[in-house]
Amino acid sequence: MNSQALAPGLYVRGLTPPLRLADFRLVAFDMDSTLINIECVDEIAEAAGRKAEVAAITEAAMRGEITDFKDSLRRRVALLAGVPVTAMEEVYARHLQLNPGVEAFVQACQAAGLKTLLVSGGFTFFSDRVRQRLGLDFARANVLEIEDGRLTGRLVDRPWGDIVDGAEKRRVVLEVCELMGVEPAQAIAVGDGANDLPMMQVAGLSVAFHAKPAVREQAMVSIESGGMDRLLQLLT
């Protein structure tokens, strides 16, 4: 990566800091391993005794080694069949935490007048709670099908499509920009996995947060140690 170390664990590429946070109008976040500390699908799989199997697929997908994200997600969700909703509630209560610096950075964006978007290949069971917790403006994620208090191993089709993959993340960012009447260049996109690259590529500022190598190599900013609030060292 042709990048400059602004500080230990903070790299920039093709940028001359500082930038004005108020010059941006939208910030879009991935959820799993970006806003929060876990991959929710992996933690749910533990209740089914399939965590190692599911986590291996997740890791390969996030590294870009599995290019069909939709297929990889369907495979993982199918392995969750029979898991009770109470297991997801336990994941949220016992395992899910906001990543360091997330609250501070989100609050700084809100104070500067940016709209906030969570766009996730994960699940609304968690994204709805994270959205409420952080006071985010918009969210899109996948819906797990539940019958009789247990997961069926399927996803629920939505009016916009079936699965939030990289292409859908990109489309949502562009759609929200259009609805707001702003240019994609006025958007910030923050993610960690290969399925975040499409939205990062259309944003004016792309940020890799403790990301996979392929994502670090393409992002304008890479935070490799410390919290998300380290972005405020670049954005005044």
pLDDT at 87 over 90: yes
Catalytic residue among 32, 42, 192, 196: 32
Pick from 84, 99, 181, 175: nearest CA to 133: 99
pLDDT at 1 over 70: no
Q: What is the pLDDT of residues 174-196, one digit of tens each?
A: 999 999 999 999 999 999 999 99
Q: Which fold has domain 4-38+98-233?
A: Rossmann fold (3.40.50)
pLDDT at 204 over 80: yes
Cis peptide before 18 (omega within 30 of 0): yes
Predicted TM-score of the model (pTM): 0.96
Contact present, 44 and 87 (Cβ < 8 Å) = yes
| Residue 1: both structure tokens together | 């990566």
Pick from 185, 95, 176, 102: nearest CA to 139: 176
Mean pLDDT score, 65-76: 93
Determine the number of helices (DSSP H) and then strands (DSSP E) in the chain. Answer: 9, 10
Mean pLDDT score, 123-129: 98
pLDDT at 77 over 60: yes
At residue 67, the pLDDT reads: 86
Cβ-based neighbours of 171, under 8 Å, separated by 6 or more: none
Q: Is 32 a catalytic residue?
A: yes
Residue 2 — very low, low, confident or very high, per pLDDT cuts 50/70/90?
A: confident
Q: How far apart are CA 84 and CA 107, in angstroms?
A: 34
Contact present, 128 and 106 (Cβ < 8 Å) = no
Q: How far apart are CA 17 and CA 26, in angstroms?
A: 19
Mean pLDDT score, 200-214: 97
Contact present, 118 and 130 (Cβ < 8 Å) = yes
**Residues forming a β-bridge with 208:** 191, 222
Mean pLDDT score, 209-227: 97
Cβ-based neighbours of 34, under 8 Å, separated by 6 or more: 99, 190, 191, 192, 196, 209
Please report where in the chains the tokens 């005794």 appear, as a residue: 49
Pick from 162, 164, 157, 159: nearest CA to 139: 164
At residue 100, the pLDDT reads: 98
At residue 162, the pLDDT reads: 83
At residue 112, the pLDDT reads: 97
Residue 134 — very low, low, confident or very high, per pLDDT cuts 50/70/90?
A: very high
At residue 17, the pLDDT reads: 82
Mean pLDDT score, 38-54: 94
Q: Tell me the Cα Rg of the chain.
A: 17
Catalytic residue among 23, 30, 128, 196: 30
At residue 3, the pLDDT reads: 84
